Structure 1
């Protein structure tokens, strides 16, 4: 299907997995639907649990809430479109609808990167300068920092989208991806400025990804040095355990991306289906797994959940006894 001319396109076609047989459309759409349900239920649960549990309204858990909101939004803006393709055969997305989706894909990814920076800063201050933590990391300060994490990428991503909109689109209208992203869209553009737009966008993306990553790596190295200097083994273990949720979440976000980028840099190529799967994997896996990490790797949340479950069981037994 081609809807292309020198003045622009009316719509794009989401390709999804090009090598997927039509007989597998149903199972794949069902799998994606259950992934979306998991993302929605888990992240709504985290938001609700922290909002209504006053004892958890502390800096660390407020950052978790911002991440949960980000993950929920990302899943909601990307998964329904690809689900409808395989479930209902609806592959068409409007021209500006595709650019809108591209904006949110890159914006929310950048917000996650800066939110991980805030999360790391919280642990850095708590472990490296613990006496200053109650002053430097209040709920108001963490809310301001999270606000900056939402705001800083905004002008950069708006500039990226507006820059891409200046390109003439005169190639195929097929998006070789499960959702609209910058590479998939600009690969359908033509003209002398395509390379300039792509390189400029790459530089901006590296700012949003590598600057937070540099601080995160520096902070965790400093944290590790402080922990290793502790003479008490139990203290070392307890202090390290307060960082494990953040480390898991950070690794889930950065490691697959770094693997794909490094592979492309050294010339290791993937098939189109594998590349699409990897991008979908590192985009959606954190959103589905992060709430589980919050619940099972964060002692306060885990204890509060146990307490609530015990109260629920006692309440059920009392009702049954009557």
Structure 2
């Protein structure tokens, strides 16, 4: 997964305490990937007023029914990452993932694919022309400072825990939910769950009150926190919630994300998550200078296939502070 915006803005995401329970909608925005290829996704994180939810710092919905359609496949050539984990969760389609630690795997629906960049990794994603059109979610999780230099690695999990109750089924992708813990390796207290509600469902989902949470509907409609939520936007729910009351007349499919409010300052630019402008500059230089010690070549790709880094902004941008609840304007 790559952020292929041609002119990505540098973002300084400041740490913040949880705001308590809130219910604020943040619209999805359509983002073109790959410049002239004209591939589009819907992005709900980061937002100007909400850069992170727990350690979740990036959230794309690809192949959405409402996104601009093109004939171009969403293939992504080799590109780098630092300081994050990528989460790929497809609903349809088949993706070939290759990376600089030697992984070469097929990604299918129902499989969690988790890549930890640590100090540096490169990867590519190619879609199979013989499979249905790709549709799914791709997210990033920011690594805490004590994990930013871990050895890069890749995990694929086919057997994930499921929380079930009358009217609800929740697959726990990472972290823990309602006593069910995912085998995926997490570096911060976190949760990500794929949730489906049956028609006429009226259920209560237990939550960790020390986490902040958010929901994005993929299909259908759900009423949560006195808010009617349809597919598209992100509903930020704040902290200090022990449970969520969920109702849906026609059924719904949504992703729940959450975690402890991330207590570290982050600088995000292009495909890098760091702590300072200088760290981002160093990573970009290592990629542009083809530093194979940090970003080894990927088997099956030539150096010419590497996606070049965009130019850095001429100046530092001002810190982007979170504004939720009564502080948001």
Question: Could you say whether these structures have the same fold, taking a TM-score greater than 0.5 normalized by the shorter chain as the test?
Answer: no
Structure-1-length-normalised TM-score: 0.26
Between Structure 1 and Structure 2, the one with more strand by share is 2
Structure number with bigger Rg: 1
Per the normalisation by structure 2, the TM-score is 0.25
Instruction: Identify, as 1 or 2, the structure richer in helix.
Output: 1
